[in-house]
Every structure is written in C-alpha cells, then in structure tokens.
Amino acid sequence: MLGWALTFLVIALIAALLGFGGIAGASAGIAKILFVIFLVLFVVAMIARAVKGKPPV
C-alpha cells in the first residue's frame, strides 16, 4: 500500500512539473489517502502484535 502511495506521489509530481494541475491534484489526493490508510493499518498491526504478547519489531 505504501508503494501505491509513493507511485501516486511521483505521478502527481511529474504531472505538476508538466503543468497538468487537475491530474496532479487528483494524484496527490489519492497518495494522501493511501498513505493515511497505510499508517492506520500499520498502527493496528502493531497494537495487535503487542496484544498477542510479541514485542514490536
């Protein structure tokens, strides 16, 4: 999921450099959403691992 967020970020940066404002904005928005989802899933996984009694990596 983090890979997808980075992919959309790169697309947004390239589109912004080429002057495609709408595409850049949409790609940046998607990248932000995917990054937040990744962070939430990461925190949930760490909490679940801690509840099971395993130390965080």
CA 39 centroid distance within chain: 7
Supply the pLDDT for residue 57: 64
Beta-carbon count within 10 A of 5 CB: 19
Supply the pLDDT for residue 56: 61
Q: What's 52's DSSP letter?
A: T
Supply the pLDDT for residue 25: 81
Supply the pLDDT for residue 44: 92
Q: Distance between CA atoms of 14 and 6, rounded to whole angstroms? A: 12
Question: Model's pTM, two decimal places?
Answer: 0.65
Q: What is the pLDDT of residues 9-55, one digit of tens each?
A: 888 888 888 887 787 788 888 888 988 999 999 999 889 888 888 76
Judged on CB neighbours under 10 Å (0-12, 13-18, 19+), 17 is exposed
